[in-house]
């Protein structure tokens, strides 16, 4: 499967959890989209190149990776915008309740969006510690919104158990699959999940700023009222009527004109999953993250690293996070040696293991490089300690 | 300037008001973005390829086309989503008022979004006929939202006069510049406009589904509270704090990760405006639309067409719309002859004249083709009468 990706020489890429590597299928497809479909086909390509149904078609490809069916997943907008739509829609389905529940350590945009929803809807957003989530579920909670795999620690929730408990108190559940989709199997329908959002540019490898996806369980689609009522979510967008009337099914999650260039790149990228057994992908991922932890234990014991990710593979996604007070500079020094991970404030060194394009050898070499960085102390150089705009 | 665009052989493209033609600068720039910045640079390109400041940088290019200053325009999301943000922000700036005023013939998404805002904020949206707008302005109106050039008729409002009248009653104004930006000069700051949104894929030629732009006058930026509070609009997105704190200035209009591939295409496309005098562009546009109207009068009088666009050039944008009860089939027959316009229900034939890449000769040949379609009756063929998904 590694041959399906174009990776630079001399780089071990452990940041596919932030921006996935480029699948080789992308450039030729984009060339065709730009030179033929846009430049030559022009406006006709909305019909002739099947641009118009792309959000649904790409959604169906993602549905297979997250345990959903066709017409339960659609690609649109950003993860933040999709979360806004679904939080409001969920609140509207629980009119007697006014509480959104989340987790304090969640990726910030999820908290920020919930704060924005609380303000505009006059409801409340409460964020608790991860181990307090189940106890905080009660009949005031309209919707529980969690990220399945934590962006910092790599820790994964038990999706089935948490969803079941939320449903027991009558709450709806939104899972953010940013660090799940494409990294590990996910069984949205088997877990009876209500809604989900996810990211196109991490383990799905759709390219920088790729559009996001949203899942709405079929049982909720006809009752869904999301607030961003744009023309592409209308029942008859080309009738150009004055009054909004939501499209049947998942299409009502659409807002404006779909970002075709991003959609086309994402669609081509998803062919990297063709024929991939997600259980085998998971087994490889667990082997890679397990080996990394074992080698860090064995090789780096003297250098003051902590482990932020659970040792039990059932409790983690496809990343391993270390802690170190000099984490920022260490990550920069490691990048200079060709091993690309990233840093998350205040002290997290993140290493993502995209099992489609990484092997055990990469893990050995990455740990060896980290050991050299620490032994030789090159992270102390000023150029590694100066912060960049994007960390 | 036509040499800056790649146009197919045998086509006269009069639909740049729907999807702009492809600037020749785009393919090489996209190739570099994909093969070098993404595939080789990977996550490092957020810093090294200046991906991170792209929304502001591309916004500054657009600012010059719409009479705004750097840091008053930013590129993000879709036009519909940006309109949602600004309608809510405007309502919050006028807390004693609960009315959004619009125009009944506006592009539907503008009306749909306002209806969605009305529902979630508990305010009202009132749409009146275009000639009733000024009379409907009163001290209940928090915000007036209009499209400067109507998508169907091509009729243009007097931006200065309407804005002034709205301000006299204390209302804020949002202009939708979908059919203005890149087509004609626009003086947002001279007209003391409060807010604007616009489209990247029409006269700005950014490619299918290109991201949108939003304008916020500098005097309103510090007080702006838009509801889609995502991490890229945060004051310190990479501090990963729990509480939302808006970025200073226009940056708070951002939500999620910027759609880089779309942004990069749009940025390259905008180089087609380098050195262009917008007054000269407007003069050419007026000459083209004027010639089209004159030739339609002269050549097509017997075929039952009406003119939906004002004859006074001061009252129109860069398109001419005809009416005909068989408009749909006529447009399809015309496309088969290589003259691409489009149709808008129920009876509008739209012809956009993007003055950067069209000449007077194109206008003559387009009218000749339309005359042949009518004289030979080829629009009556069944393949031209059958509706496609996107019209």
The pLDDT assigned to A388 comes to 75
A81·B340 Cβ contact <8 A: no
Window 119-138 of A: residues touching B by CB (8 A cutoff) are 119-121, 127
Average pLDDT, chain A: 97
Partner residue facing B256 (CB), from A27, A38, A78: A78
B chain contacts of residue A88, beta-carbon cutoff 8 Å: 120
Q: How confident is the model at residue B388 (pLDDT cuts 50, 70, 90)?
A: confident
The verdict on whether B97 is a catalytic residue reads: no
pLDDT of residue A389: 67
Enumerate residues 6+ apart whose C-beta is below 8 A from B248: B221, B222, B235
Using alpha carbons only, how large is chain A's radius of gyration in Å?
A: 22
Average pLDDT over residues B81-89: 98
Judged by a CB distance cut-off of 8 A, whether residue A81 touches chain B is yes
Q: Which of B5, B350, B351, B353 is catalytic?
A: B350
Rounded to whole angstroms, how far apart are CA atoms B209 and B352?
Answer: 18
**CB < 8 Å from B in window 272-331 of A:** none
Give B-chain residues touching A344 at CB under 8 angstroms: 240
What does B18-54 look like in DSSP terms, one character per residue?
Answer: TSPPEETHHHHHHHHIIIIIIIIIGGGHHHHT--TTH
| Mean pLDDT, all residues of chain B | 97
- Annotated catalytic, B202? yes
Residue of B nearest to A23 (CA): B39
What part of A 220-239 touches B (C-beta under 8 Å)? 227-234, 237-239
A364 touching chain B per CB within 8 A: no
Of A52, A207, A390, the CB nearest to B47: A390
- CB-nearest partner of B262 from A212, A255, A262: A262
pLDDT tens column, B131-164: 999 999 999 999 999 999 999 999 999 999 999 9
Comparing C-alpha atoms, which of B100, B287, B272 is closest to residue B200?
B272
Q: What is the mean pLDDT of residues B188-210?
A: 98
- pLDDT above 70 (res A188): yes
Percent of chain B with pLDDT over 70: 99
Answer whether residue A180 shows pLDDT above 90. Answer: yes
Residue B241 with chain A: CB contacts under 8 Å:
108
Verify whether residue A195 is a known catalytic residue. Answer: no
Residues from chain B that touch A384, judged by Cβ atoms under 8 A, are none
- pLDDT band of residue A171 (cuts 50, 70, 90) is very high
For this structure, is A201 an active site residue?
A: yes
Residue A39: its chain B contacts at CB < 8 A? 6-8, 21-22, 27
- Among candidate residues A77, A176, A194, A362, the one labeled active-site is A176
Residue B214 three-state SS: strand
What's the mean pLDDT in A376-391? 84
* Contact assessment for residue B183 and residue B149, using Cβ atoms and an 8 Å cutoff: yes
Mutate to test the interface with B, among A230, A247, A331 (most CBs of B within 10 A): A230
Report the side by side order of strands in the sheet with A319-323. Answer: A306-307, A319-323, A348-352, A342-344
Binary contact (B391, A238; C-beta < 8 A): yes
Mean pLDDT score, A113-135: 97
Give the chain A residue nearest B341 (alpha carbons): A43
pLDDT at B386: 84
Q: What is the strand order of the sheet B195-198 is part of?
A: B73-75, B213-216, B195-198, B172-176, B141-147, B99-103, B124-128
Is the pLDDT at B76 greater than 90, yes or no?
Answer: yes
| pLDDT tens string A209-252 | 999 999 999 999 999 999 999 999 999 998 888 899 999 999 99
Q: In this predicted model, what pLDDT tens digit does every residue of B211-247 receive, in sequence order?
A: 999 999 999 999 999 999 999 999 999 888 889 999 9
Q: What residues of A are in contact with residue B208 (Cβ under 8 Å)? A: 37-38, 45-46, 51, 257, 260-261
Which of B86-90, B151-155, B382-386 is the least confident region?
B382-386
> Residue A197's pLDDT is what?
98
CB A114 within 8 A of CB A102: yes
Say what percent of chain A tops pLDDT 90.
Answer: 96
The pLDDT tens digits for B31-68 are: 999 999 999 999 999 999 999 999 999 999 999 999 99
Cβ of A52 under 8 Å from any chain B Cβ? yes
* d(C-alpha A169, C-alpha A140), whole Å: 9
Q: Where are the beta strands (DSSP E) in B44-136?
A: 73-75, 99-103, 124-128
In angstroms, what separates the C-alpha of B255 from chain A's closest C-alpha? 7
Q: What domains can you pick out in chain B, each with its CATH number?
A: 25-273 (3.40.640.10), 277-385 (3.90.1150.10)
Q: Does B358 touch chain A (CB under 8 A)?
A: no
State what percent of residues in chain B have pLDDT above 90. 96
Nearest to A252 by CA among A32, A76, A48: A76
Whether B53 sits inside 8 A of A211 (CB atoms) is no
Cross-chain Cβ contact A230/B109 below 8 Å: yes
The per-residue pLDDT for range A292-328, each reduced to its tens digit, is 999 999 999 999 999 999 999 999 999 999 999 999 9
Grade residue B385 by pLDDT with cuts at 50, 70 and 90: confident
Mean pLDDT value across residues B164-184:
98
pLDDT digits 0-9 by tens, A43-69: 999 999 999 999 999 999 999 999 999
For A27-46, what is each residue's pLDDT tens digit? Answer: 999 999 999 999 999 999 99
């Amino acid at each position: 499967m590694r041959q399906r990706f174009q990776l630079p020489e001399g780089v071990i890429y452990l940041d596919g959890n932030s921006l996935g590597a480029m699948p080789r299928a992308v450039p030729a497809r984009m060339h065709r989209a730009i030179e033929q479909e846009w430049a030559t086909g022009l406006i006709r390509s909305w019909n002739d190149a099947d641009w118009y149904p792309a959000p649904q078609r790409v959604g169906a490809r993602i549905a297979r990776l997250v345990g959903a069916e066709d017409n339960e997943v659609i690609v649109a907008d950003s993860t933040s915008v999709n979360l806004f739509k679904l939080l409001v829609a969920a609140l509207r389905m629980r009119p007697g309740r006014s509480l959104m529940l989340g987790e304090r350590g969640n990726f910030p945009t999820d908290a920020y969006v919930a704060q924005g929803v609380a303000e505009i809807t006059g409801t409340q957003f409460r964020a608790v510690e991860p181990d307090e989530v189940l106890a905080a579920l009660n009949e005031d909670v309209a919707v529980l919104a969690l990220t399945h795999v934590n962006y910092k620690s790599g820790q994964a929730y038990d999706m089935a158990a948490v969803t079941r408990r939320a449903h027991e108190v009558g709450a709806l559940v939104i899972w953010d699959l940013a660090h799940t989709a494409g990294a590990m199997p996910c069984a949205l329908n088997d877990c009876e999940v209500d809604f989900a959002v996810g990211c196109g540019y991490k383990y799905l490898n759709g390219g920088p700023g790729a559009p996001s996806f949203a899942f709405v369980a079929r049982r909720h689609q006809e009752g869904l009222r999301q607030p961003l009522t744009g023309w592409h979510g209308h029942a008859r967008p080309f009738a150009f009527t004055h009054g909004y009337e939501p499209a049947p099914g998942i299409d009502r999650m659409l807002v404006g004109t779909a970002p075709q260039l991003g959609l086309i790149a994402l669609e081509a990228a998803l062919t990297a999953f063709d024929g991939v057994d997600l259980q085998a992908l998971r087994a490889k991922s667990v082997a890679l993250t397990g080996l990394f932890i074992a080698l860090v234990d064995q090789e780096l014991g003297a250098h003051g690293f902590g482990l932020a990710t659970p040792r039990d593979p059932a409790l983690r996604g496809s990343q391993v996070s270390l802690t170190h007070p000099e984490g920022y500079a260490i990550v920069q020094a490691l990048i200079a040696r060709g091993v690309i991970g990233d840093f998350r404030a205040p002290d997290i060194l993140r290493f993502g293991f995209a099992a489609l394009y990484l092997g055990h050898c990469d893990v050995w070499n990455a740990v060896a490089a980290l050991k050299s960085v620490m032994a030789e102390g090159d992270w102390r150089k000023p150029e590694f300690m100066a912060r960049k705009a994007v960390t």
